[in-house]
Amino acid sequence: MCDPQSRFVARARRRFAMTRECAALLPGVCAALADPRQPGLDDTCLEKLLDWFRSLTWFDPTVELVQDNPCLPELITSVLALPDPSPGILSFTLQLAGILASSESRFQHLQEEKLLGRLFGQEGPRGGAAWEEASVRSAWLKGVHSMLHHQPALPFLCSTGAMDVIFTLQGDPSLFVASAASQLLVHMLTFSLESETSKALSAKDCDWPVCAQMIVKHIQESLQSSSASHIEQSLKLLSSLFGSCFGSCYAAWTEVLWLDIAKQIESFLLEETVQAQPVLANLLLNVARSPVFCGTEGSFWALVTSALEHLTPVQAGPLAVGLLKLCKCPQDVRIQALTVLLQPMDCILRAASQPLECAGLLDESVSDPVAVESLLSSKTSCAGLLCQTLAHLEKLLSLKHLKVDLPCVSLLRSLMTILQFCNGFLSPTSPLGSTISRNLINCFRVQKSALDVLAALSEKKDCDTLIGSLFDVLLAYLQSPNSSPTVLKKTFQATSKWLVHLQELSSSNSQQQQTEKILEGVFLVLQKRLCSPCWEVRDSSLEFLTAMVKCLRDQKEFRQCLLSSEVLRLTENLLEDPESYVRASAVIAVGHLTLITCFAPESPATGSQYNKESIVAKLQEILSTDSEGFPRRAVISIFTKWLREGCTGRLEDTEQFVSRAIQTVEHDLDWEVRLGGLELVEVFCSQTICQLAQCPYAPVSSAVTSSTPQKELLQVFCRAKLFGFLFGSLCDCDKPVGQRACDVLVGLRGHFYPMSTLENPQEVEDSPAGRGIAWLQRTLRQGSLAQNFPTDGGDGVDFQDPESMMLALGAIDLLELHDELNKSSDHVEESPQSLLQDILATVGTIEDNEVDCY
Amino acid sequence: MFCWCFPGVSLVCILVSIAGKNVMLDCGMHMGYNDDRRFPDFSYITQNGRLTDFLDCVIISHFHLDHCGALPYFSEMVGYDGPIYMTHPTKAICPILLEDYRKITVDKKGETNFFTSQMIKDCMKKVVAVHLHQTVQVDEELEIKAYYAGHVLGAAMFQIRVGCESVVYTVTAWIDKCRPDLLITESTYATTIRDSKRCRERDFLKKVHETVERGGKVLIPVFALGRAQELCILLETFWERMNLKAPIYFSTGLTEKANHYYKLFITWTNQKIRKTFVQRNMFEFKHIKAFDRAFADNPGPMVVFATPGMLHAGQSLQIFRKWAGNEKNMVIMPGYCVQGTVGHKILSGQRKLEMEGRQILEVKMQVEYMSFSAHADAKGIMQLIRQAEPRNVLLVHGEAKKMEFLKQKIEQEFNVSCFMPANGETTTILTNPCIPVDISLGLLKRETAIGPAPDAKKPKLMHGSLLMKDNSFRLVSPEQALKELGLAEHQLRFTCRVHIQDPRKEHETGLRVYNHLKGAIQWWLHPPAGADVVQLEQGSWRRCSFL
């Protein structure tokens, strides 16, 4: 048996192979492409054709591809012979040539035909008018990049002046071209090192391979040039280089290169002669990630430290957070990086405190705190700095192994202060504080970022002392009419996280009282928000309610507050909301609330409006009548949840419940509802098997139809009308439904028949016992995709007859069907043959077809 | 002002930097790919920092997927968390189309790296809906305003303004005279002058009628919303007028929702629909009924609208398979189909299709393509420029060759700069910002008193000291400036020493130089103070402060 990876490769190789049919179509396609009279093809087709060639050459590096298909080099020759080829076809040809030249044998072949020089050398398009087109320049770079997978390509490029072209394209007006040039240089340098045998190195005397030498020289010259754009390009290139496998795999070369440029980088940083600080920060971070420098003391880290001091807080932020994420980094640098990140939060705390209080977050700062203060004092930069800092802190809080301690309590205080500034609840007396509070009032951006961090902080310990005041802030936000729907959503998310934390704390009496008080406040405001005229708010409120029920349903205080509030009634009302999203969220919320109100062992009497029967009836009504898919999908998912949690009562009740649900969803227009129905059936089957079979997981030794539990099982499934739904779904016009139905049937068959019979299904003759099964077998064998099964009534198959169904399960080759369904229609759509046929057919058809929307 | 985009026929996503503010116009997806290439590569927008910090807002012009299809990916998967603006109808309709496409994509390709229903909902909850002509203040400096566009229901053109610089972005051929610094317009039909929409509608009705009359069935594959409703209205009215009996079915299951929105936003629909709506509710169809799968096998003529629009999955493909073999039947494709779909194959003339299981489906039914797209054609774009009178034009969403032709035409006819940036290319447009300056009343009075009486037709030159403080500019008298800034007046005297070789006596030489200079320059000239010194004085040199 092959391993899965080999199987995958073999399948892919078969899928992309040059079949006889493709080889027959290819010359026609090439001729059409080279014909200047033909209107331009859809770019997507050309891209897909290149994708195919890429896969083809990847699996087959031999020269046969070009030898057996001479139309390919002929296409290149024909395009080169055109006096004025269209940019589209020229770009295609450049990329195709690069892809074909990606193996050494084909490269040599194309060289012998003298094609590569005419495309990528001086006589190629790079001197002509077509070069004005960004798409041609980009294709030229992509072609070179594809070609660079073997040693002979390097001297070819170096000798044809390609290097200078690539250097120039780094500054191209098209961002895509400039970026491709930079990526190509990184690839070239790394590849040139890869292909040379390693040489002894010292910092002063090193022998770069020729191509690498050219690149390094170019970098050095650019860094010393007076042109700011050249310097910036080189810094970006260096940054990509250190961030690539060069930095991680070529330690010695990395060190040599760094030592070469370190002085220059330091001067840029300290003298600020070039305005490229963000690039410099990125460069330092990528160098820091290289194993050469990680964790060691030395001049590099001194430079990093100096960068943290010299860069502005906005520029230093990304560097600081990157350093804190490193596994190996000197601890003092880490602490300094954290200080940089915490400075704005410290400043906020100090600005909000009374003059005599010592309320800061940091003992000392890294750089001049005046810089942070001045940024926070300005209306335009205040929000930007805080949003950036908060985003970084959120990232840090999500890290599992942060190697410095975050001062969580002070951070929480600072966050609360920011949120209070934003909603105008805090007006500090200090001049800086009042300026910041003026800058932040009603600033949604900062509110959202602060609430995100607040939610992330709930995972941390030690913040318990502030929990009361924290909920004051959160409730103020939930109550405030000024809170925008997005801010409210984030407040709900933060509140639900902190409520979970609160639950973990409430062990003592006083804490229980506090919890009750907080929950009362939460439910009061939730009642109000469930009635909001804005659907976004109603929806977020329902999502919040569901999240609370999921986490807190076992907590006594929570249940008490919930049942004594109006929330249950309001949620039920929202089942009839005009907005379908809200109806769907209400279904989910009601479904979860029912777990407390109806299905819990100690379910309280909650009044007549919230009893089990009425809720089930309401949801069933939504499932059959709601005009939109979301609420119907929500109902079927809730039904499945109830079934999983064992809430549907005795087997007979459950049987009826499932039967009713699947009869409703069977004809639903939304395939995801039908899919949900199949999931319900799957859960029902496995639960029933567990209940009725003695040993559910033991394989059966032979066809055991006579044994009582098996018979009973079949009867239950037939009574619940599962089989009609399952076999009908095999022919569903939406593929995932058929696939899922087949999975369930394969599972059932595995239960009723020994595994060995799966691969050898029985041939069935029509008999009174299994009337129509032969027809069913034939229909499904012809391909489930004949898709006329459901409409003709099943040709007399009795889907409720246990014996017939037992026979059907044994007779139908479900594994083959499974394979057929899993192929999906991609088999047609993405096959190279289909693509070639489409291109040939498209050539010469009306152009207008291409230019409609959608 | 900078502007760069991911243009092409297939998707629109433009980044405009105007006076330091960054706005993304549309966030479309490319339906032709099912890998990363279907979405714009947002990493090019900024390499440093978060997108939320970099972008000030995103504006969506209308609900077509090539303009909004990447939005849930952008906001929920890439992580943009800032404001998104669109009109109320676009906000209502966008999720229906996104959901429709998601379902098809997931169904068809078993995709996992695609946005979910929950993501679409979360994205829509972040959207701020705007009214027409409502000025939305995104922040203190950036404001946007939507105008009726008429391209499709809810489409709007947006004016973006920062200070006195403005950009107008439109996908349609109708606009006010707003003289923006830059007009960004799509140019799909850059060189085409198309038949009138009425002609195409007549043609469509004729074809449907003929097929139904000869007992054939007509399949119209559509997306859930948009063109489907327009065609439904056409057929409904025609059936009513001709008293036709053949049934028309709509199979998407979304009819009610779609019609609900069309009713809700009736003021946004075209005049014809609005006018008819007064007499009868156009969306309560008498002839169009919900489709059931079993109906496809019914004998006799019928018309069925089914999704998806490209015939590559679901019900439309299922019906197509059943009807394809009968030459009496007809399929009308009202929209673009991407390569690989059955829709694309039959439109390109293929009549033998290999379906799953290597079965060959022979297509004998008639295949028609009808474009009802509401994009502006060449004539429309020229009209648009004539009306708006922009200082610069930027063409997007078109083919390079056609755009080049149109660019030349625009430059010749209107004498304005026209740009058509390539993928990822940045276009820089220089603007002449006029900066408002307040003038102190004292200075105004003093300056008015000097010189001739003010003439409304002639601009008057004013002299004073310019004070820049807290982002505002004031022109005040030098005295007032000194007072406000707490500065004392300084006088600077410039001297220079010149050595002259002259055989005459020093005094005579001095006098001669003095007399010469007196005739040559108008400045105040001190008489020779000493034997060898001539002093020239221009007057006092005042120090002006610009803070």
Could you give the domains of chain B? 2-193+374-428 (3.60.15.10), 197-369 (3.40.50.10890)
Q: Which of residues 443-462 of A touch B (CB under 8 A)?
A: 444-445, 448
Selected residue with higher pLDDT from A573 and B4: A573
Phi–psi pair at B115, nearest 5 degrees? -70, 150
Residue among A173, A736, A845 minimizing CB distance to B425? A173
- Among B137, B177, B130, B176, which residue's Cα sits nearest to residue B160? B137
* Most confident of the following: A94-98, A603-607, B6-10, B344-348: A94-98
- The string of pLDDT tens digits covering residues A380-401 is 889 999 999 999 999 999 988 8
Q: How far apart are the first and last CA of chain B?
A: 26
User: CA-nearest residue of chain A to B297?
Assistant: A791
Cβ-defined contact of A842 to B348 (cutoff 8 Å): yes
Residue A362: the pLDDT is 66
- For A329, the 3-state DSSP assignment is coil
Point out the residue among B8, B256, B321 whose CB comes nearest to the CB of A787: B321
Q: Phi then psi for B472, rounded to 5 degrees?
A: -125, 155
CA distance A285 to A316: 11
Band the pLDDT of A636: cuts 50, 70, 90: very high
pLDDT, averaged across chain A: 85
Residue A70 DSSP label: T
Rg (CA), chain A: 35
Please tell me which of the candidates A278, A448, A785 has its beta carbon nearest to residue B356.
Answer: A785
* Residue contact A845–B347, C-beta within 8 A: yes
B355: tokens are: 């379906």
Instruction: Give the confidence band of B313 by pLDDT, cuts at 50, 70, 90.
Output: confident
pLDDT value of residue A337: 94
Write down the pLDDT at residue A157.
Answer: 92
* A628 touches B at CB < 8 Å: yes
Q: What is the CATH number of domain A471-602?
A: 1.25.10.10
Q: Are A474 and A492 in contact (CB under 8 A)?
A: no
The answer, for A112 touching chain B at a CB cutoff of 8 Å, is no
Under DSSP, is residue A349 helix (H, G, I), strand (E, B) or coil? helix
DSSP SS3 for B247: coil
- CA–CA distance, A765 with A770 (Å, rounded to integer): 8
Residue A494 has pLDDT above 80, yes or no: yes
pLDDT in tens, B445-479: 887 777 777 677 777 777 888 888 766 788 988 88
| Å between A851 CA and nearest CA of chain B | 6
* The predicted structure's pLDDT at residue B195: 54
For A:373-402, CB contacts with B below 8 A are 379, 384, 387-388, 391
What is the set of active-site residues of B?
186
CA distance B527 to chain A (A): 51
- Strands of B227-355 (E only): list them: 248-250, 288-290, 302-306, 330-333, 352-354
Mean pLDDT on B211-216: 94
Only one residue has tokens 């001729």, namely: A31
Is B251–A48 a contact, with Cβ atoms under 8 angstroms apart?
no
Tokens (6 digits) for A52? 């195919």
Residue pair A710/A693 in contact (Cβ under 8 Å)? The answer is: yes
Q: Which residues of B touch A837 (CB under 8 A)?
A: 345, 350
**% residues pLDDT > 70 (chain A):** 85
State whether A736 and B338 contact (CB < 8 Å).
Answer: no
Q: d(Cα A677, Cα A668) in Å, to the nearest integer? A: 10
B255-264 helix and B227-242 helix, angle to the nearest 10 degrees:
90
Q: Are A622 and A583 in contact (CB under 8 A)?
A: yes
Q: Which residues contact B498 (CB under 8 A, 6 or more apart)?
A: none
Write out pLDDT tens, residues A158-185: 998 899 999 999 999 888 999 999 999 9
Residues written for chain B: 547
How much is the pLDDT for B527?
A: 57
CA-CA-CA-CA torsion sign (A533, A535, A541, A542):
positive
Which of B125, B318, B340 comes nearest A539 by C-beta?
B125
Q: Is A158 exposed, middle or buried (CB count within 10 Å of its CB: 0-12, 13-18, 19+)?
A: middle
Phi, psi dihedral angles at B142 (to 5 degrees): -95, 125
Contacts B8 to A, Cβ<8 Å = 43
CB contact (8 A) between residue A445 and residue B189: no
Q: Which two structure tokens, joined as six digits, stand for A230?
A: 């050249």
In chain A, % of residues over pLDDT 90? 50
Contact B339 A838 (CB under 8 A): yes
How big is chain B by its Cα radius of gyration, in Å?
34
Orientation of helix A175-195 relative to helix A228-243, angle to 10°: 50
> Any idea how long chain A is?
854
pLDDT band with cut points at 50, 70 and 90 for residue B266: low
A 156-185 residues inside an 8 A Cβ radius of B: 173-177, 179
Please count the other Cβ atoms lying within 10 Å of the Cβ belonging to residue A493: 19
Beta bridge partners of B330: B218, B366
Chain A residue with minimal CA distance to B369? A849
What does the alpha-carbon distance between residue A319 and residue A301 come to, in Å, rounded to a whole number?
13
For residue B544, pLDDT beyond 50: no
Q: What's the confidence (pLDDT) of residue A845?
A: 54
Shortest Cα distance, chain A CAs vs residue B499, angstroms: 42
pLDDT at B424 over 90: no
pLDDT recorded at residue B276: 55
CB-based burial, B307-324: b 16+ in 10 Å, e otherwise: bbbbbbbbbbbbbbbbbb
Nearest to A540 by CA among B258, B361, B118: B118
Tokens 């429709």 -> residue: B100
Residues with Cβ < 8 Å from A200, sequence gap 6 or more?
Answer: none
Q: Do A669 and B253 touch (CB under 8 A)?
A: yes
- One-letter identity of residue A129: A
Ordered DSSP codes for A435-464:
HHHHHHTT-HHHHHHHHHHHHHHTTSSS-G
Confidence (pLDDT) at A784:
45
The answer to whether the beta carbons of residues A543 and A586 sit under 8 Å apart is: no
For residue B117, count other CB atoms closer than 10 A to its CB.
20
Distance from CA of A310 to the nearest CA of B (A): 18
Does the beta-carbon distance from A173 to B33 stay under 8 Å? no
- At residue B454, the 3 state secondary structure works out as coil
The fraction of chain B above a pLDDT of 90, given in percent, is: 24
Alpha-helix runs per DSSP H in B87-147: 88-109, 117-126
Residue B408 exposed, middle or buried by CB count within 10 Å (0-12, 13-18, 19+): exposed
CA dist B184 to A120, A670, B422, Å?
A: 36, 39, 14
Other Cβ atoms closer than 10 A to A409? 16
DSSP state of A723: H
- Token reading at A717: 């499934």
Measured between alpha carbons, how far apart are the two ends of chain A, in Å? 46
The residue of chain A with its CA nearest to that of B250 is: A669
> Does the pLDDT of residue B227 top 80, yes or no?
no
What token pair was written down for B180?
Answer: 């923006």
Chain A residues with CB-CB distance to B423 below 8 A: 134-135, 138, 174, 176
Nearest to B425 among A134, A445, A842 (CB): A134
Q: By three-state DSSP, how is residue B57 classified?
A: strand
Q: Residue A841 and residue B348: Cβ atoms within 8 Å?
A: yes
Query: pLDDT at position A702, please?
Result: 45
- Closest C-alpha among B311, B364, A668 to residue B319: B311
Gap from B3 CA to chain A (nearest CA, Å):
12
Q: Provide the CA B247 distance to its chain's centre, in angstroms.
A: 41
**Which residue has 């997306």 as its token pair?**
B223
Q: Please list every residue in chain B whose beta carbon sits closer than 8 Å to the beta carbon of residue A832.
A: none
3-state secondary structure of A365: coil
pLDDT-derived band at B110, boundaries 50, 70, 90: low
**pLDDT on residue B149:** 78
For residue B50, the chain A residue with the least C-alpha distance is A388
Note whether A849 contacts B257, CB cutoff 8 Å. no
Q: Which residue in A542, A621, A616 sits closest to A579, CA to CA? A: A542
- Distance from the B470 Cα atom to the nearest Cα atom in chain A, whole angstroms: 10
Contact list in B for residue A790 (CB cut-off 8 A) is: 293
Asked if the Cβ–Cβ distance from A851 to B373 is below 8 Å, we say yes
Of A44, A175, A318, the CB nearest to B4: A175
Task: Decide if pLDDT at B190 tops 70.
Answer: no
Q: Does A21 touch chain B (CB under 8 A)?
A: no
| pLDDT given at position A38 | 75
Q: Which residues pair with B288 in a beta bridge?
A: B248
Buried b (16+ CB within 10 A) or exposed e, A701-723: eebeeeeeebbbbbbbbbebbbb
Q: What is the pLDDT of residue A298?
A: 76
- Contacts with A787 from chain B: Cβ below 8 Å: 318, 321
Return the minimum-mean-pLDDT range out of A579-593, A624-638, B207-221, B260-274.
B260-274
Of the pLDDT bands very low, low, confident and very high (cuts 50, 70, 90), residue A240 is: very high
| pLDDT of B410 above 80 | yes
pLDDT for A699: 44
- Residue A683 identity: V
The mean of the pLDDT values for chain B is: 80
- pLDDT number for residue B33: 83
Contacts of B64 in chain A (CB under 8 A): 853-854
A404, A335 Cβ separation under 8 angstroms: yes
Q: Six-digit token pair at A134? A: 């960004």
Confidence label for A728 from pLDDT (cuts 50, 70 and 90): confident
Average pLDDT on A516-537 reads 95
Q: Find the range with the poorest average confidence among A434-448, A591-605, B351-365.
A: A591-605
Closest partner residue to B345 (CB to CB) among A173, A448, A838 is A838
